Structures are given as C-alpha cells and as structure tokens.
Amino acid sequence: MQVFFGIAYVVIGLVQLFAIMDGLAFALGINQFFATILALFVTYIPLVGSVAGIYGAVKVWDWTLLQAGALFLWYVPVFIMMMIFVGAESVFSRR
C-alpha cells in the first residue's frame, strides 16, 4: 500500500506541477519559464499546491471543479478515514 501511495503522490504531483505552471502563467501573465520556477516551490506545499493545481486545471484546462478537486484533493478523505480507523482501533484495543 505504501508503494501505491508513493507512486500516486509522484504522478499526481507531476500533473499538479503542470496545472500550477499553466495557472500561474495565466493568472500572472508571466512566461512559462518563470511560472515553472514558481510552480516548483508551490507544488509540494500540501493544501496550497492542491488549490493552485485546481485553479490551473479549471481556468486553463477547462476541467470542472469536481474533476480537479477529485484529482488534487484525493488525499484529504483518505487521511480522514485513516485517522478515524486509527482512533477507533485505539479506543477498542484498550488494555
């Protein structure tokens, strides 16, 4: 399972990088080179990168908000479920 999440994190991170590059170039009116440099810093900041990726995918790639949100925010419900299961496990495994 860790390998799957590792691969998914890298692949989605690359797609997010391109969405952020296009979104920054569109929003700030800068060329692709400077947008790439800025996007490299923004991409892997957890929620900031996801929101910037959603912006680029919606505004530049013409995705729906639901499509972009599902791709770039998939980890939020996964981590919430993990926290619920870990919390439930600690409650039911008291010694």
- Tell me the pLDDT tens digit for each residue of 28-68: 999 999 999 999 999 888 889 999 999 999 999 999 999 99
pLDDT score of 95? 58
CA-closest candidate to residue 73, choices 95, 51, 44: 51
Domains of the chain: which residue ranges?
2-92
* Cβ neighbours, 10 Å, residue 85: 10
pLDDT score of 94? 66
- Asked if residues 54 and 65 have their Cβ atoms less than 8 Å apart, the reply is yes
Give the pair of three-digit tokens for residue 14.
Answer: 């690359």
Higher pLDDT, 21 or 87: 21
